[in-house]
Amino acid sequence: MPFRQEPPRLGNQYETDRALRSYLRRALPQEMLEEIEPELLELGELAGGELYRMQLADRLNEPRLTQWDAWGERVDRIEVSPLWRTAERMAAERGLVATAYERRHGAHSRLHQFALAYLFTPSTDIYSCPLAMTDGAARVLLTSGNGPLIKNVLPRLTSRDPEEFWTSGQWMTELSGGSDVGASETFARLDGEGVWRLYGRKWFTSAAASQVALTLARPEGNQGGGRGLALFLVETRDAEGRPRGIRIDRLKEKLGTRKVPTAELTLEGTPAVLVKGTADGVRDIAPMLNVTRLWNAVSAAALMRRGVALARDYARRRTAFGSALAEKPLHADTLAGLQAEAEAALHLAFHAAELTGREEAGELDEEGARLLRLLTPLVKLTTARAAVHVAGEVVEAFGGAGYVEDTGLPVLLRDAQVLSIWEGTTNVLSLDALRTALKDEAALSSLKAEIERRAAAAQDERLLPAAHAARGAAAHACAWLAAAGREGQTALEAGARRFSMTLGRALALALLTSHAQWSLDEESDPRAAAAARRFAHSAVDLISDHDPEDVAALLADL
Ligand SMILES: Cc1cc2nc3c(=O)[nH]c(=O)nc-3n(C[C@H](O)[C@H](O)[C@H](O)COP(=O)(O)OP(=O)(O)OC[C@H]3O[C@@H](n4cnc5c(N)ncnc54)[C@H](O)[C@@H]3O)c2cc1C
């Protein structure tokens, strides 16, 4: 018999996810979990079966932009791939956004929603992108106090009816800057009929096929910088489906996220509605970014889980040197490290989701809200970086097959790479976290206390070294902050990424250890403890001092 290689298979992606199920058993009231579990099982079955097969079959389809019709009329129509059309319908029907706003389970509604998103995301080729922005836009509108938008647009964004459901884009990045949005050049002018009209270019607009978008523009006469920008809502198309004062110049040719129609737009007098005031738009859009960053973290955890599930299954099917890869001590050791990373990301992302749900339900006090403000960038940047690392290892775990497109594996790596770029790069978010930690000592103290509390929950002696490592890393980061603060701004900025990653990973480790204790006590399951121990031996404490002269020497030419 000639050798035949079996492809990797996925089972029910909820049923087989020990880490997710264990987390939900701890975090949710039992009756709630019993109520939502059939939904999770159904989506898990689709994600590992029919949707996964559709995803593989859809591999070569990409969004298409048609700029002109046959008769010379500018139409700028975008058609997305069949998988995305299915995803849009499913997302509405299954309440991927709605669940968070119906609040059937109060503060736990966000966990419900993100459990669905975690299962849905890896089989729908980054359809999480428009969903994240739609969720973010809904949050902005809800808190805006803008009656007409709350009445007319919010119900669309949170609808379960696919015919009613609208998605929203988020148009911030311009040629002059994605990180530095204060440099935006788009301006807004009131026309003779009292309608705001926008003029400018938006350089990266994903979800360009969305029905609405939130965007920033500077009302004429306003000051420069972020304070002078205002937040606007744009309805992208008229009743006939034609763009309203928007020219779609082209779709980006990207490394990954190739199903996402990311467009360059020119706004040519686009009619727009002010969401709040005529300034401070960067502040007004911040709630959207908090939500999209949370989606980013959940997506990172979900993509890691998908990659590890495939690699673990393949290791049982692929033989080399006379036995299955799963039986090779070094291959097993490599996969175990990836599993621990994926579990850490799961706990980190869902911890932020838990706090967000409590904040929205009015259950978070002032201290909790400030902690969440510091956590959001930390959780986003830590999980995104881990996802890129894990995706690279997953591809390698398949050997040559991992590098071949029609296995559907390379896309995991390409898609993971975006997670550390959009919604704030690792450096930009590290600086954001640094600023918060410096400005708000109480937020940093709360984070330290949270790490301490979680670590202290671990009583089993096999968990004590991990708990100790979490505390030690957090203390080291705080000591570094104090010392670098004495040295000045350059030292602070240069070390911001190591500071933020250390805090993010220390919290992940503390969450893993406390969950592991619970799982030992309540489930008699030693696997979460194994994840905590393994993660404790990965790079958690990244604090180190580097001589600025070395930095200059390394970057000097010749
Ligand atoms: C696939 C894709 C889809 C996107 N979709 C959207 C969208 O829908 N809407 C939208 O508004 N934007 C979107 N973006 C844009 C994205 O948010 C920006 O690219 C991102 O915020 C970075 O901005 P930039 O490209 O201007 O990079 P820059 O700001 O020029 O950054 C370049 C590098 O410099 C670093 N850097 C910048 N400032 C500092 C600093 N002060 N200190 C240290 N390092 C620094 C960054 O970390 C980065 O590594 C998308 C991007 C991609 C790749």
Determine contact, residues 256/415, Cβ cutoff 8 Å.
yes
The total of other beta-carbon atoms located within 10 Å of residue 64's CB is: 12
Give the pLDDT of residue 177. 81
Residue among 378, 388, 383, 389 at smallest CA distance from 428: 378
Cβ of 410 closer than 6 Å to ligand 1, yes or no, is: no
DSSP state of 229: -
CA distances from 499 to 349, 472, 484, 544 (A): 19, 13, 11, 9
CA distances from 174 to 217, 415, 426 (A): 11, 22, 19
Burial class (CB in 10 A: 0-12, 13-18, 19+), 149: buried
Q: Can you tell me which residue has the tokens 């240069």?
A: 494
Q: Can you tell me which residue has the tokens 């969903």?
A: 131
Residues contacting residue 359 through CB under 8 Å, at least 6 positions apart: 368, 369, 372
Determine contact, residues 484/495, Cβ cutoff 8 Å.
yes
Residues contacting residue 141 through CB under 8 Å, at least 6 positions apart: 149, 150, 153, 154, 157, 233, 275
174 pairs with which residues across the strands? 177
Dump strand ranges (E) for 143-211: 168-171, 187-190, 196-205
Pairing of strands 187-190, 74-79: unpaired
Residue located nearest, by CA, to atom 2 of ligand 1? 422
Cβ of 336 closer than 6 Å to ligand 1, yes or no, is: no
Q: Which amino acid is at 124?
A: T
CA angle 56, 59, 65 (to 5 degrees): 145
Q: Which two tokens stand for residue 122?
A: 């890896």
Determine contact, residues 333/315, Cβ cutoff 8 Å.
no
Q: Where are the alpha helices (DSSP H) in 205-280?
A: none
**Predicted TM-score (pTM) of this structure:** 0.98
Give the pLDDT of residue 167. 98
Cβ of 204 closer than 6 Å to ligand 1, yes or no, is: yes
Cα separation, 307 vs 387, whole angstroms: 10
The ligand 1 atom at the shortest distance from the C-alpha of residue 133 is 8
Cα separation, 293 vs 131, whole angstroms: 12
CA angle 60, 64, 67 (to 5 degrees): 160
Which of 201, 205, 257, 421, when mutated, tests ligand 1's pocket best, judged by the most ligand atoms within 8 Å of its CB? 421
Say how far residue 389 (Cα) sits from the centre of its chain: 16
Residue located nearest, by CA, to atom 11 of ligand 1? 172
Determine contact, residues 108/292, Cβ cutoff 8 Å.
no
Cβ of 215 closer than 6 Å to ligand 1, yes or no, is: no
- Give the tens place of pLDDT for each residue, 479-492: 999 999 999 999 99
Cα separation, 372 vs 364, whole angstroms: 10
Question: Rounded to a whole number, what is the largest CA-CA distance in the chain?
Answer: 80
CA angle 43, 397, 336 (to 5 degrees): 75
Those residues of the chain that have pLDDT short of 50 are none
Cα separation, 266 vs 201, whole angstroms: 4
- Give the tens place of pLDDT for each residue, 7-53: 999 999 999 999 999 999 999 999 999 999 999 999 999 999 999 99
Give the pLDDT of residue 303. 98
The ligand 1 atom at the shortest distance from the C-alpha of residue 170 is 9
Cβ of 206 closer than 6 Å to ligand 1, yes or no, is: yes
CA distances from 492 to 281, 380, 432, 443, 499 (A): 28, 20, 12, 18, 9
Residue among 76, 120, 69 at smallest CA distance from 94: 120
Residues contacting residue 538 through CB under 8 Å, at least 6 positions apart: 337, 340, 341, 505
